[in-house]
A = this chain, B = another copy of it.
Amino acid sequence: MVTLTALFKKPEDPEAFDKHYNETHSPLMQKVPGLRKMQVTRFSKMLTPPNATLADQPYLECIMYFDDKDSFKAAMASEENKAAGSDLMSFAGPIVSMCIGTSEDIPL
């Protein structure tokens, strides 16, 4: 699947961040057309020392899953995504990194 990954550094006020994320931002993202799945990871411990990949333990990661490139592009161009993007920048602009990728489950 095509994925959009948002990785957040620890916010200055985690309680206010969580409240906004859960009550405002997440509901906006959930409306984006073509979004198939949304997975949130909250980090509790970094096992490796700081390095060029991560200087600090991240706070939260959200992965948004889309069927393919076309549905991803349509999602990004939607009004719903513009609203979610504006909201994101309003409360987390300096602490979020966003990357496009492709995700697959490795058979076990």
Contacts and interface: CB of A to CB of B under 8 A. Distances in A.
Interface of A: 3, 5, 7-9, 26, 30, 35-48, 51-58, 61, 63, 94-106, 108
B7 A53 contact: yes
Q: Which DSSP category, helix, strand, loop or mixed, fits chain A's interface?
A: strand
B58 A99 contact: yes
- One complex includes copies of this chain to the number of 2
B104 A47 contact: no
Contact of A40 (B41, B44, B57, B103): B103
Given A30-B106, A43-B5, A102-B44, A97 B38 contact: no
B9 A53 contact: yes
Nearest to A7: B53
A46 B41 CA distance: 19
Q: Which of A46, A53, A102, A104 has the largest number of chain B CB atoms within 10 A?
A: A53
